[in-house]
């Protein structure tokens, strides 16, 4: 359902049928908060999580093509986006349905970069970070999260060297790291609305790994 989360702006939020569960923040790619990313929240709720996806571009703006998405991203103030990410984390943690003190962050491409940033900058908020074909070059020494990543074999935006560097950064900082590479895939390979890029078998494998990882790090011990 659509929700107004106050200072976190507008968002799509879903609660599992049980009425409560660990929280997961979903951060969309540069396309905006499209039906696909709303469906990610729905699937997380089906798996027992409270899921919230903020509209990082604002005003429901979305893009269909890379050129449109690039223009949309260029028109978005990164300081405003940073505020929205942090406010959304706080709003998710404060929801009565959220049972976990710290939450998970699941990001796609641009959203993965913001998810990694949030794990590094807000360690008291984030217990698990899952990145789909997106990276970040910052200091992770203060993070307290476990990190999972899903990366394409052929990616014009995230090269093999980029992925290896990110993995090395995280390991050197002492974090649990669970990175996966998917043969025969390119950027956006998990997004079912990107017909040219979508690889169903790889997408489902990545999803099953994601759900298991989030449960392992967010469920009560």
For residues 112 and 131, give the distance between their C-alpha atoms in angstroms, rounded to a whole number: 5
CA–CA gap between residue 139 and residue 159 (Å, rounded): 20
pLDDT category of residue 220 using cuts at 50, 70 and 90 = confident
Residue 6 is predicted with a pLDDT of 46
**Domains parsed from the chain with CATH numbers:** 2-218 (3.40.50.1820)
In this prediction, residue 3 carries a pLDDT of 52
Q: What is the pLDDT of residue 85?
A: 96
What pLDDT does 142 receive? 96
pLDDT tier at 68 (50, 70, 90 boundaries)?
Answer: very high
135 within 8 A of 113, measured Cβ to Cβ: yes
| Contact (CB, 8 A) for 89 and 9 | no
Per-chain mean pLDDT for the chain: 95
């Amino acid at each position: 359902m659509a929700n107004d989360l106050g200072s976190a702006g507008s968002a799509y939020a879903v609660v599992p049928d049980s009425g409560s569960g660990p929280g997961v923040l979903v951060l969309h790619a540069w396309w905006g908060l499209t039906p696909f990313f709303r469906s990610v929240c729905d699937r997380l709720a089906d798996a027992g999580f409270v899921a919230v996806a903020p509209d990082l571009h604002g005003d429901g703006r979305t893009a269909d093509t890379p050129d449109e998405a690039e223009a949309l991203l260029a028109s978005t103030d990164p300081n405003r986006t940073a505020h929205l990410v942090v406010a959304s984390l706080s709003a998710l943690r404060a929801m009565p349905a959220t049972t976990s003190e710290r939450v998970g962050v699941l990001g796609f491409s641009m959203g993965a970069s913001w998810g990694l940033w949030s794990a590094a900058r807000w360690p008291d908020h984030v217990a698990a970070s899952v990145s789909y074909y997106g990276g970040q070059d910052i200091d992770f020494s203060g993070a307290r999260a476990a990190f999972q990543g899903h990366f394409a074999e052929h990616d014009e935006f995230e090269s093999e060297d980029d992925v290896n560097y990110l993995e090395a950064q995280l390991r050197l900082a002492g974090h649990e790291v669970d990175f996966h590479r998917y043969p025969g895939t390119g950027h956006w390979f998990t997004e079912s609305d990107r017909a040219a890029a979508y690889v169903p078998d790889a997408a489902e494998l990545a999803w099953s790994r994601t759900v298991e990882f989030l449960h392992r790090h967010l469920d009560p011990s």
